[in-house]
Amino acid sequence: MAALRSQHLYRGLRILSSAQGPVVEVDGRRLVNLSSNDYLGLTHHPRLRKAAVAAVEDFGVGSGAVRTIAGTLSMHEALEAELAEFKGVDAVLTFQSGFTANTGLIPTITGEADLIVSDALNHASIIDGARLSKATRRVYPHADVAALQEVLDDASANGRPGTGEPYRLILVATDGVFSMDGDIAPLPTIVEAAESVGAALLVDDAHGSGVLGRDGRGTVDHFGLHRRVDIQVGTLSKAVGSLGGYVAGPTALREILTQRARPFLFSTSHPPAVVAACREALRVMQEEPGLQARLWANTERFKAELARLGFDTGRSATPITPVLMGDPETAMRFSDRLTGAGVFAQPVVFPTVAMDKARVRTIVTAAHTDDHLDSALEAFAEVGRELGLTGS
């Protein structure tokens, strides 16, 4: 603990005393919130609240068992069917979180005879899922499709290390939108690379759902790659506004996961309120397209203004906009000073990002008004000047 503190890597929990939203109350002060994944403002949407309350009245507060024993309600199956239709796939299986979707999925479908090829900046849950597998693992530099192709060519020409036997399955895994940089994976070329050696492709679209594609169908829809991405992982905890994760793909995949995925088999299913809120969220996303439009209008304005102020916002192309600072101490101090100026924007430091890539990460949502964004930008300008990050 002392070492973490002296390296400016110790992170205390920030405690909110209000509901999640575009403005939150922290330590008795109201701050413009630029740190939530609540892209469409659905955490507090009236229709989701109403659906959740009705589910509590009718079905109680807990599901009482794991899915495979007595914890599958008809509403769990209905949510999965609705998600499958929304995503344009044959079948969906939900998990308690996006994290457990990956840690359940990856070791179930890969083993000793297989290879997992993973982007260097993939989410921790993909990394942990791969670590739980007995498969061989290779990592390619972030978004570098030429390097990915080299790994794939080498794997298909030379087979498994030691024995030279061909791999049974090669699984390429990438985030759709990268959570710390906000850049979009170059999926069209990744698909071609995977297809060139007959590899399967897994896209974890936690930050793409609700944000990209028609009505927020995600990165695969954004690029028109339906049926060319074998497996999609999604979360219900970000734009969908509640909690959970899912795996979307062929029916046989759903089936094997119901038999072998350990978080599915050994951890209790979602309570009714969560399931009902997620189902209502899917309807809202399709019936209120203005939310996604507002999200993007806010995103474009905020990004352009940060760049105009002279901040380094990296390669972001989505509502996630990092403001890069380099060392953890500066990021921590910047965030503290923003708090003083009325803005809640959390620093992201090692081990979430590399030691020299500390940043304050911002996310705008559909729920931010022009006034919220104006006052946030004013605070960034002031603190940037004070800490010498913007020159002017």
Q: Does 38 bind ligand PLP (CB under 6 A)?
A: no
Instruction: Work out which of 237, 269, 318, 365 binds ligand PLP, going by CB under 6 A.
Output: 237
Nearer to ligand PLP, 246 or 380 (CB): 246
Q: DSSP 3-state assignment of 29?
A: strand
Min separation Cβ 168 and ligand PLP, Å: 25
Calpha distance 309→315 (Å, rounded): 16
Nearer to ligand PLP, 122 or 339 (CB): 122
Instruction: Work out which of 8, 67, 87, 207 binds ligand PLP, going by CB under 6 A.
Output: 207
Min separation Cβ 55 and ligand PLP, Å: 20
For residues 110-129, which are near ligand PLP according to CB under 6 A? 123, 125
Q: Does 270 bind ligand PLP (CB under 6 A)?
A: no
**What angle in degrees, to the nearest 10, is found between the helix axes of 98-109 and 124-131?**
30
Q: Spell out the residues 6+ positions from residue 379 whose beta carbon is closer than 8 angstroms to its own.
A: 32, 338, 341, 342, 343
Q: What is the DSSP string of 334-390?
A: HHHHHHHTTEE--EE-TTTS-TT-EEEEEE--TT--HHHHHHHHHHHHHHHHHTTSS
Active site residues: 179, 207, 238
Helix extents (H) in 231-326: 251-260, 262-266, 272-287, 290-309
Instruction: Work out which of 235, 313, 321, 365 binds ligand PLP, going by CB under 6 A.
Output: 235
Q: Does 229 bind ligand PLP (CB under 6 A)?
A: no
The 115-119 sheet, strands edge to edge: 91-95, 245-249, 231-235, 200-204, 170-175, 115-119, 136-140
Q: Does 347 bind ligand PLP (CB under 6 A)?
A: no
Q: DSSP 3-state assignment of 245?
A: strand
Segment contacting ligand PLP (CB under 6 A): 164-172, 203-211, 317-325, 378-386? Answer: 203-211
Min separation Cβ 49 and ligand PLP, Å: 20
Instruction: Work out which of 94, 97, 269, 362 binds ligand PLP, going by CB under 6 A.
Output: 97
Binding residues for ligand PLP, rule CB under 6 A, total: 13
Calpha distance 245→347 (Å, rounded): 25
Nearer to ligand PLP, 175 or 181 (CB): 175
Calpha distance 37→180 (Å, rounded): 12
Min separation Cβ 182 and ligand PLP, Å: 11
CB 101 within 8 A of CB 246: yes
Residue 158-187 contact track with ligand PLP, rule CB under 6 A, x = bound = -----------------x---x--------
Nearer to ligand PLP, 208 or 384 (CB): 208
Distances (CA, A) of 20 to 26, 87, 282, 370: 11, 27, 20, 19
Min separation Cβ 384 and ligand PLP, Å: 27
Residue nearest to ligand PLP (CB): 98
Q: Does 362 bind ligand PLP (CB under 6 A)?
A: no
Q: Does 390 bind ligand PLP (CB under 6 A)?
A: no
Q: Does 99 bind ligand PLP (CB under 6 A)?
A: yes
**H or E, element range at 321:** strand 320-326
Q: Does 98 bind ligand PLP (CB under 6 A)?
A: yes
**Nearest by Cα to 320 from 260, 238, 226:** 238
**What angle in degrees, to the nearest 10, is found between the helix axes of 272-287 and 290-309?**
80
Q: Which residues bind ligand PLP (CB under 6 A)?
A: 97-99, 123, 125, 175, 179, 204, 206-207, 235, 237, 245
